[in-house]
Homo-oligomer: A and B are copies of this chain.
Amino acid sequence: MKIGILTIGNELMNGRIADANSSFIAREMNAQGWTIEAMMSVGDDEEAIKTRLHYLLAFTDAVICTGGLGPTVDDITTAAVARAFGLPLVMDEDVLAHLREIFIRYNLRWTENNAKQALFPEGAQVIPNPVGTAAGFALPVKDKLVFVIPGVPSETVRMVPGGVIGLLRRYFPQATEYAAKQTVKTFGLSEAAVDERLADFDFSALGVNVGFYPVFPENHVVLIAHAERREEAQKNLQRATDAVISRLGDCIFSQGEESLEEIIAGMLTDRKLTLAVAESCTGGLIASRLTDVPGSSVFFERGVVTYSNKAKIDLLGVPADIIEQHGAVSEQTARAMAEGVRKMAKTDIGISSTGIAGPSGGTKEKPVGTVYIALCDGSLTVCRHYAFRWDRRRNKLISSEAALMMLKNHLEDKK
């Protein structure tokens, strides 16, 4: 089934508010196996609403409109939709009674403009609003369906699953297609490289749609399988997922929506392991990402951001001569930082980062983006050199990702 979305409001057109409803509605429709043909936004302008609505209906089975259902003069969506199809507005007595009830219950003063929210185009089916005063409606137009629901996100999220989807299934019983979805998150491959590695597999033959979503510094692959029957969609999705896993190998860190830090937090907590972090170029970002996870205090003992050499010596016991000989940005210093923070914190694992985030501070031997990440578990210390090429913020972010990835791989090898 083909769906169009029309979000209505001047606040969208002047950019004061970014449209969040469209992506929510799209996810809900996709989960039903239905596709979004177009999303559109217009201001509170009757002519614009009428012409855009007719345009969207021309190539969709249903259009879902949001916004402009308030009691004030600038809310004109219901009237515009009625006129778009030459229908009169009729008062719904039940809705009117319900509105007056609400006003009495919360002793608000009733003003006549509120009655406007009980007017609907002739032939419309009312969709109750469980969390607000503005009811929505579904209007059959020939063999198609026009929905109008409020634009307040907290109301939209209730009325789409609650009212819209059920009515769509009832009006379009033939729309029985199902969709199954799988996300695979990777780090360490460019978008082009991911694309190339998957190029030999024919996903479309399985009715599987492949999407690439770079979320710096990660690349996410999303597989969506469409089929007549749910079992079939799931079977095809599994085969496509296996193909992706076999081709992207250990660049995959998550088969689902979990973040890298959530996965690591789970592994450390399950195994009752503790962690300490010594950061230079990442400036506290590794600690901040790990402590974003609820319950991280169970495994996260401490972090130190040792920007100065003095701090590296005081807090980590890095020998001054190592810094003198090899520099603060060196494999030797990274190793000493990881070993030092682990020893001082008496944790099972210590990880460290040292590097040049930029934009200044680079040299010919050690250009901006030079980063060393080290990990120590008491029995061994590993260190890896990286040459990143981004701006300061992204160098920090990709360095923190590299450190977390090293930690995850270490924990997996230990399994």
Query: Does A344 make an interface contact (CB < 8 A)?
Result: yes
CA distance A105 to B210 in the complex (A): 31
Query: Does A184 make an interface contact (CB < 8 A)?
Result: no
The contact string, 1 if C-beta is below 8 Å from chain B, for chain A 114-150, is 1000000000000000010000000000000000000
Given A26-B13, A311-B302: A48 touches B37 (CB 8 Å cut-off): yes
Query: Does A173 make an interface contact (CB < 8 A)?
Result: no
Q: Across the interface, do B283 and A287 meet the contact criterion of CB distance under 8 Å?
A: yes
Query: Does A310 make an interface contact (CB < 8 A)?
Result: yes
Q: Across the interface, do B40 and A39 meet the contact criterion of CB distance under 8 Å?
A: yes
Q: Across the interface, do B38 and A22 meet the contact criterion of CB distance under 8 Å?
A: no
Given A192-B71, A305-B304: A213 touches B40 (CB 8 Å cut-off): no
Q: Which residue of B lies closest to A74 (CB)?
A: B212
Q: Which residue of B lies closest to A212 (CB)?
A: B72
* Residues in B neighbouring A42, C-beta threshold 8 A: 37-38
Chain A, interface size: which category? 35 or more
* Residues in B neighbouring A70, C-beta threshold 8 A: 191-192, 212
Given A41-B38, A315-B315: A196 touches B12 (CB 8 Å cut-off): no
The contact string, 1 if C-beta is below 8 Å from chain B, for chain A 38-57, is 11111100001000100100
From the candidates B17, B304, B358, B396, name the one contacting A315 in the complex (CB within 8 A).
B304
Q: Which residue of B lies closest to A292 (CB)?
A: B393
* Residues in B neighbouring A131, C-beta threshold 8 A: 391
Query: Does A262 make an interface contact (CB < 8 A)?
Result: no
Please give the count of copies of this chain that the complex contains: 2
Looking at the assembled complex, report how far the CB atom of A204 sits from the nearest CB atom of chain B, in whole angstroms. Answer: 12
CA distance A213 to B18 in the complex (A): 10
Looking at the assembled complex, report how far the CB atom of A80 sits from the nearest CB atom of chain B, in whole angstroms. Answer: 15
Q: Across the interface, do A315 and B288 meet the contact criterion of CB distance under 8 Å?
A: no
Stretch at the interface among A229-237, A293-301, A318-326: A293-301
The contact string, 1 if C-beta is below 8 Å from chain B, for chain A 324-348, is 0000000000000000000011000
Chain A positions near chain B (C-beta within 8 angstroms):
10-20, 22-30, 35-43, 48, 52, 55, 70-74, 105-106, 108, 111, 113-114, 131, 152, 190-193, 195-196, 199, 209-214, 222, 224, 277, 279, 282-288, 290-292, 294-297, 300-308, 310-311, 314-315, 344-345, 357-361, 387, 389, 391-393, 396
